[in-house]
Structure formats: structure tokens, C-alpha cells
Chains A and B, each alone.
Chain A
């Protein structure tokens, strides 16, 4: 596709359930980022991948959160035992080369997660 896509666009789940959020980056982009955005805040970094490996996962809030990118393209963010505080918009972005001075990130539309 032409841009970054994320599915589902909305996810409502019950406290304690497991959820998976999917990101399809722009073809050829080696870097992929996950962010979480709460109302009235800027995006908060969670994890980024360079190729298949998680280059930095320091933003993951706890061990209930995990992300994979097995083939260096599509990525899945997994949240176990969801809590009401996990409710937010989860954004994915990709870029051609991580960290370059001209590196521009292209964002997907986000997945709005609501934990009841």
C-alpha cells in the first residue's frame, strides 16, 4: 500500500483479556516504531525495530506488552491481561532508515484501544 496501515481501527475489550494490534509499514522501510497516545498528550515511545530485531524496547511499560516483527515487515503489538489504564490510541510509524538526520517517520491512523 501507499502508506502505513493499522488494524483494527478500534478495539474494545474487557479487563484481563489479550489483544493483538497489527501494523503494516510502507514497503521497503526498515525501521518501525510503536507509540501510545493518550488524550491531550503527544505520542509516547514504546518500541522500535530495525529489520526483524527490537533495537530498543525501553518504552514498553511492563512485561504485559510485547511486540514482534518476524519477517522485517508487518509488526504485531501484543498486550496480555489488559488493564483499563491501557486504553489509548496505539500508533505505528515506519521510516526508511532509523536515526538518519533526514529520517522522516510516516504514521499510520492508529488503533483506538478501549479496555472496559
Chain B
């Protein structure tokens, strides 16, 4: 059974810092990995999707990397802003070629001015 762990569980930083959020998964036979953002009381918004054949994806100040063999992904946020405050979740297929995503518990991020 796929298990997804996200570290740290919570993070509070001053504005402007560069951040690294970590995601690890136990079954590396995945075809993609996604990072989502969730604002309080809201649904999830997809940030980045990395295919298993890719090493990283970038969108603006966000960069996500994938090391499939070691079962790890990192989300790098450059020059953090208060508007980045949210919970960040990663998701991978439940197992093998499963269509069902398994989510981590997320990292709760607060960026204070």
C-alpha cells in the first residue's frame, strides 16, 4: 500500500525566504506526482505535475523535482510571499498503475510579512 509522508508538517517563515518542502512515498512505481495547494476552507489547486520520465517542473517561483528511484520529491518556493501561506500537499498513484491518488497530510505554511 502506498504511503506518502510530508515533512515538515508545519512551517512559519518571514517573507522573502526560499523554502523546501519534502514529500516521500513508499512505492516508486508511479507514473506521475502532483503538488497541490489548499487554502483554508477551500478545495485543492494543482500547482505542478511531474511525469515519471521527468526530473523537474517549474512554474514561476515554484520548482518541483522528482527522484523516483529514491521515492522523493521536493517543492522549492523561491522568495516566499505572504500570499504563499497555505497547505501544500503531494499526491502519487496509490500503487503501480493505479488511477487512484494517495495524498500526504500536507505541509502547513505561514509566510509572515
Decide yes or no whether B25 CB sits under 8 A from chain A.
Answer: no
B44: contacting residue among A48, A91, A99, A103, CB under 8 A? A91
Q: Which residues of the partner chain A approach B49 to less than 8 Å between Cβ atoms?
A: 102, 104
Checking B31, B41, B105 against A42 with a beta-carbon cut-off of 8 angstroms, the contacting residue is B105
Specify the main secondary structure of chain A where it touches its partner.
loop
Q: Which residues of A contact B102 (CB under 8 A)?
A: 42, 45
- Bound complex: CA A109 to CA B40 (Å): 10
A45 pairs with B43, CB closer than 8 A = no
Interface residues of A in 62-116 (CB under 8 A from B): 91, 93, 98-99, 101-110, 112
Q: What are 27 residue pairs bridging A and B, where the CB atoms are less than 8 Å apart in the complex?
A: A40-B105, A42-B4, A42-B91, A42-B102, A42-B104, A43-B44, A43-B89, A43-B103, A44-B103, A45-B94, A45-B101, A45-B102, A56-B100, A58-B100, A91-B43, A91-B44, A93-B43, A101-B31, A101-B32, A101-B52, A102-B51, A103-B32, A104-B34, A104-B46, A106-B46, A109-B41, A110-B42
A60 touches B (CB below 8 Å): no
Q: How many residues of B contact A (CB 8 A)?
A: 26
Instruction: Determine whether the beta carbon of B43 is less than 8 Å from that of A48.
Output: no
B99 in contact with A105 (CB, 8 Å): no
Chain A residues with CB below 8 A from B103, complex form:
42-44
**Minimal Cβ-Cβ distance residue in B for A4:** B43
Which 5 A-B pairs give the minimum distances between C-beta atoms?
A42-B103, A107-B43, A99-B99, A107-B44, A109-B43
A41 touches B44 (CB 8 A): no
